[in-house]
Amino acid sequence: MKASQDIPLKAKLRKAESSNTTKSYALILPLGIFLLVFFLVPIASMIYRSVDNPLLAKHLPRTSEALKLWDSSKTPDEKTYATFVAELKAVGEKTSIGRIAARLNYDKGGMRSLVVKTARKLKRVSVNTLPPEGTWKKTLAKIDKRWDQPEYWATIKNAGAPITVGYYLAAVDKKLDINGAVVKVPEHKRIYLAIFWRTVWVSALVTSLCFLFGYPIAFLIARVQKKCVNLLLIMVLLPFWTSLLVRTTAWIVMLQREGVVNDLLIFLRLIDEPIQLIYSSFGVLVAMTHVLLPLMILPVYSVMKNISPDYVHAGLSLGATPWTAFWKIYFPQTLPGVGAGALFVFILTLGYYITPALVGGPQDQMISQFIVYHANHSLNWGLASALGTLLLLGVLSGYGLHNKIAKIDTIKLN
Amino acid sequence: MNKTLKAALFSFMVTSLAGQGIVFAESITVVSWGGAYTMSQVKALHKPFTEKTGIKVISENYSGGLAQIKAQVEAGKVTWDVVDLDQSAVYRGCNEGLLEEIDHASLPSAPDGTPAKSDFIEGSLLDCGVGTVVWSTIYAYDKTKFPGKAPKSLRDFFNIKAFPGKRGLYKNPVSTLEMALMGDGVPPSKVYATLSTEAGVKRAFKVLDSIKDHAIWWETGSQPVQLLASGEVVMTIAWNGRIFDAQFADKKPFEIVWDHQVVGIDAWGIPKGSPNKENALKFVAFSTNTKPLANQAGYISYGPVRKSSSKLIGVHKEHGIPMLPHMPTAPEHMKNFLQTDSEWWADHEDELKERFNNWLIK
């Protein structure tokens, strides 16, 4: 072919291809926008909120600056007191005072009323004349004795930075002490680390149980005659389509003290007294496994039904025992499905809290319950975001680990 | 499509849009907790308000907390006009600028001329909220489980030896710690002073320690009723309205022990920046007037916050029983009681919640 003919053809092809690419991008544009608005932006804003700490930096900048040089073994100097009084009075608006008070109260209980009260009493005092009690130190101490304790000033100091790791520290049961060093919170206040481990542990247990029960069921569905497949699939899917609350409540009826299971066991004379099946870890594991089982069965089944029986037959005809043929030939081929199912179940369990809250005992609280508490009730959105970000990191690392081991990309969606 | 059909469709669309427009301009959205409680408000407050003013009331439900209000206020798109909040939420919301301040002078006086300020019971008029009902945290037991000696005082709730059996408790330090202390003999007037000290907090947890092995913890108001009905527990801490419902609507053999009840107040709050503030204020003033509050007491066993309403409390609109003996505000129930100190809890809740959860998971 001549070069002069060659070039226009290539150019044409390129043109056609690029317009095709544009078209296909245009087709997924709505999806892209959807992901951006409802997925990426909220996650980004959550991560931002977990470190964002603008309040004190905005309203009490000079106090924070002065406290940086303060020797924390005694109360700050008179100049710092005066700066604090002037800045607190300059805040003026009640709303901002309330927000500052609430922010400081996250770090130290009692700060809320202390700051609100101090601001209210200072209203009647002018900063241009001499302090009523001679010094501002004495004036504040007269309003409330707590201003004589360095730890209250340390709280203000530690909350002063516009970008903070404080929420993350709180999320792992740590805090900044009076000297600005990272220390563990007192023993009786440590909860989040224990709850995080508890959440991961419950998730791992539920995932294992789902595998133990789900794998044989998927195997059965993949093996039975065609006409039975639909029936079995419907039996798996019906509970899957039923509301989560209904299923959880059903388990309460089954497992409670005078419930179906206990009555049956007593009727069969296996036990004399009802046993505690619910409001305990046992109840959580039973209910969660039941709720999440379909998410294990379906991906495993979808992989199994595409595995040709010829491989196992070949193995058997070459002298493998049925077990060896299953374990060496069949099982490895189902691993992508197991991996996907395990990932679904694990990630969903990490975020569950309604079921554990309804059927669990006091030990069975999951981390998402605390995220809801801080998002909804205490309004400590910084801590809620930090806990959420840590949970997200856990999910992502679980996903990464799975990717490495099971190579999720090999799964086919057909 | 033929012309007549098109025309019909067009005129239908226009009228329905216009109809919506009118509804939109003259309506307020009132948000509450759902269930029998919202029903009592719709029947006794919303309907008469619409009849009187022509302003439509759209009723929505939520599950408490300030998160939605905070999100609406921060985004500058406030769609809720009046919200039923508990005291501590009003206090927090007010401090953080999420709620409008309400001028109490705009509230009508009682029929006998008593100004609103002295007609409302103590603690029910807040800077950013106007009280509606008094509800109470009490404990209730199943009569059939105690054929002989029945529990009478809060002390009995914590006495496993004399009254054996599982106990239902609220998985929350608020009201639980107070009840533990009062069950240990601390008088109501000293409860918060005691809880402010480390020794007091330890004492409260020690009392809870004594029943920890017999405790089943609940989180939502419907759970304790279910626990008691199913025989899971023999007595449980609960909210009085829920037990009342079980007693009379479901005919359950439950009995309430009012000794040392912990009373709380629910109040209307207006989210900051509500576009219908005028109408919202009209609704608040109307619905907290003597008669509507007394009427509400005919649907639910939460006491009206106006003293003048108490005299007008009649019988339950469906069960026909006199309501006053089932109210937290009945004189014989108010011999020993504690009023929740929301300001104290606003200071200490975060801290004690951590401590409480730490205690729970140990």
- Stretch B193-205: mean pLDDT: 96
B203-237 pLDDT per residue, tens:
999 999 999 999 999 988 889 999 999 999 999 99
Percent of chain A with pLDDT over 90: 66
B246-261 pLDDT per residue, tens:
999 899 999 999 999 9
Distances (CA, A) of B253 to B144, B147, B148, B234: 7, 12, 15, 12
Contacts of A371 in chain B (CB under 8 A): none
| A372 to chain B: closest CA residue | B67
- Selected from 1.10.3720.10, 3.20.20.140, 1.10.1300.10, 2.30.300.10, the CATH number assigned to the domain covering A192-410 reads 1.10.3720.10
- Stretch A341-359: mean pLDDT: 91
Domains and CATH numbers, chain B: 22-134+265-327 (3.40.190.10), 135-264+336-361 (3.40.190.10)
| B38 vs B299: CA distance, rounded Å | 10
pLDDT for residue B328 is more than 90: yes
Residue A206 or residue A10, greater confidence: A206
Q: What is the largest CA-CA distance in chain B?
A: 84
B34-66 pLDDT per residue, tens:
888 999 999 999 999 999 999 999 999 998 889
Give the closest of A252, A256, A363 to B361, CB-based. A363
Contact A95/B232, CB-based, under 8 Å?
A: no
Residue A145 in contact with partner chain B when CB distance is under 8 A:
no
Residue A259 in contact with partner chain B when CB distance is under 8 A:
yes
Chain A stretch 156-195, residues whose beta carbon is closer than 8 A to a beta carbon of chain B: 188-191, 194-195
Spell out the domain ranges in chain A: 1-49, 54-186, 192-410
pLDDT for residue A1 is more than 80: no
| A30 vs A20: CA distance, rounded Å | 17
A221-276 pLDDT per residue, tens:
999 998 899 999 999 999 889 998 899 999 999 999 889 999 999 999 999 888 88
B101: which DSSP letter? -
Contact A123, A88 (CB under 8 A): no
A197-202 contact pairs (CB < 8 A, 24+): A198/A363, A198/A364, A198/A365, A198/A366, A198/B361, A199/A350, A199/A366, A199/A367, A199/A368, A199/A391, A200/A350, A200/A394, A202/A281, A202/A284, A202/A285, A202/A288, A202/A349, A202/A356, A202/A364, A202/A366
User: Among A82-91, A123-132, B159-168, which stretch is predicted with the lowest mean pLDDT?
Assistant: A123-132
Contacts of B351 in chain A (CB under 8 A): 109, 189
Give the closest of B65, B96, B343 to A98, CB-based. B96
pLDDT, residue A222, reads 93
Contacts of A191 in chain B (CB under 8 A): 354, 357-358, 361
Residue B304 or residue A411, greater confidence: B304
Helix, strand, or coil here: B155? helix
Contact A99/B92, CB-based, under 8 Å?
A: no
Q: Give the pairing type, strands B215-218 and B167-170.
A: parallel
